Structure 1
Amino acid sequence: MEATVVVGIDVSKDRLDVAIYPSDEPGFAVARDATGLDALAARLKPLAPTAVAVEATGGFESVVVASLAAAGLPMLVVNPAQIRAFANALGKRAKTDPIDALVIARFVAATTPAPRPLPDEATQRLADLVARRRQIIAMMVAERQRQKRLLAPRLQHSITRLLEALQKELSEVDREIDAEVRGSDIWREKEKLLASVPGVGPVIARTLLAEMPELGRLDRREIAALAGLAPWTRQSGQWRGRSFIGGGRASVRAVLFMGAITAARHNATLKAFHQRLIDAGKPKLVAIVAVARKLLTILNAIIRSGQAWKSEVQAASI
């Protein structure tokens, strides 16, 4: 049987180091520019790789993924922490770009994650706006903390002016997000479906639209794992440790936590679910995590079915 071909790419500011696995040929490098990307796509397409993987590097990988996906190559963006853990397991303590590229390829060959389609241009634009909104709010929170500590009148005036400017910018970003959502029939309908669930407001709905385009296309376990809400356990022999959550998309998980707190008070179904967990002796934080996971499961099912929230009977069937 012909071997499966996987390509690993280590992305830096100016160049791409490429490894093909399995292959007897050494790795190679191309420039991270239009000419280099065109040459790379032309070289990889005849190999018919099952996956072409890059690490999430904080932005440098975006143009690489977009360019190669446009050329018809199956792209994957992998977690750098997982790559380093895999490298350590292989005994690859040295860290160079060619080594990293090969480790990425071997990681994907070993774990066989499924390539997912890139978000379209409109979804990426909405995701950028939602991320910018989150950044502005973080800056406002930081300034308010400084406002409590710094007592000098001049510094208080400085903080007040900056907060006013940030509030103005936040309002502008909110208007742009609103225009993006209302300008798309599909997004407008999806936002309406998501917001039909008590406890889900515009911020949660739009964050999910922007940062979890897989919503409605995965099963409940896959969507929980994607958000970092799937519990994982620690066990060895007779010993069993506490379960934890982690990984996944932190920004999605954060808004779902806020939604879970609201839903546990105002959504009759999730309020009863939360109370059953508390009555069973579950810690409050564990109960809220479970509500967040249940809320995401409900939202996933609603988008898949295209039916708005109607009753507790609907939730019980999910």
Structure 2
Amino acid sequence: MPERAITYIGVDIAKTNFVADLSGTSASVAQTKQGIESFIKSLPADACVVCEATGGYEASLVEALWTAQIPVVVVMPKRVRFYAKSLGLLAKTDPIDARLLSRYARACADTLRLYQPLSPVADQLRELLRARDELIEQIKVETNHAEHPSKHPLLAKHAAKRRHLFDQQLEQIQAAIKTLIAADPSLHQRSERVQQIQCIGPVSAWTILAEMPELGSLKKGQA
């Protein structure tokens, strides 16, 4: 990434708040418009915010930073975990994770990529994938319930119908994902490229393209 002096600010994001590493001290900020605006105003001129892809919780902050022209990097959680393990860092709290992100960014600065908004197609892909994730969780719940089936035939019938409906919807969503990728030459090419990596299958490739779309075009070592 850039050659100028940069202050990397790690941010650990949750659903209702985020914790920022500010020069060795941590600050908890509400995940609200007012909280985000206040956080942005407090940033130094040379700030670059670094956070993990968290399945959507990071979206409001990242988009606000981008709109305010504050450099922001969204990294894959697995890369940060691998980095933490290499340092023998096993403790996990929000402030520790925020500091870890700052440290990771400083150590891996040359491989970081600045956030860019998703294309409309990638945005649709992300939406489909999140719907797929929600369905899979619902299917897991129904599967667990099936291990202890209802004694009343009506309830058992309803449970079977729900599971069948969820399975149908999952097939439809996955078909829509495949169609979306196949219809976009760039997305299709990047999907094929990502799947050339060992242990990366179609579903993992979809997730990478949706959450970190730039990865399909990165050189080795970048993230």
Q: Post-superposition shift, 1:6?
A: 1.2
The alignment's TM-score, normalised by the length of structure 2, stands at 0.63
Q: How many residues align?
A: 206
CA shift for structure 1 position 66: 2.1
Q: Secondary structure at the match of 1:60?
A: coil
Correspondence list, 1:16-165, <5 A: 16-21=18-23, 26-44=25-43, 46-49=44-47, 51-78=48-75, 79=77, 81-82=81-82, 85=85, 89=89, 97-112=94-109, 113-120=111-118, 122=120, 123-136=122-135, 139-140=138-139, 154=153, 157-165=157-165
Decide whether aligned partners of structure 1 residues 121 and 110 sit closer, same or farther in structure 2, where only a CA change above 3 A counts: same
Q: Percent identity?
A: 24
CA 156–16 in structure 1, closer or farther in 2 if over 3 Å, else same: closer
Letter in 2 for 1:38: E
Q: 1:6 corresponds to which residue? A: 8
Tell me if structure 2 keeps the 8 A contact 1:52–1:76. yes
Shift of 1:37: 1.5
Letter in 2 for 1:214: E
Residue matched to 1:246: none
Q: Which runs of 5+ in 1 are unaligned?
A: 198-202, 227-318
Paired amino acid for 1:127: R
Residue pair 1:11, 1:54 contacting (<8 A) in 2 also: yes
Greater RCO, CA 8 A, separation 6+: 2
Structure (1 or 2) with the larger CA radius of gyration:
1
1:214 aligns with 2:210: no
Alpha-carbon RMSD across the aligned residues, in angstroms, is 4.6
Deviations 1:248-303 (A, max 9, x none): xxxxxxxxxxxxxxxxxxxxxxxxxxxxxxxxxxxxxxxxxxxxxxxxxxxxxxxx
Q: How far apart, in 1, do the equivalents of 2:132 and 2:67 lie?
A: 29
Instruction: Return the alpha-carbon distance in structure 2 between the equivalents of residues 212 and 171 of structure 1.
Output: 24
Normalising by the residue count of structure 1, what TM-score does the alignment of the two structures yield? 0.47
Q: Residue 184 of structure 2: SS of its match in structure 1?
A: helix
Distance 1:52 1:96 in 2: 19
Query: Do the aligned partners of residues 158 and 116 (structure 1) sit closer, same or farther apart at CA in structure 2, a change above 3 Å counting?
Result: same
Q: Match of 2:213, SS?
A: coil
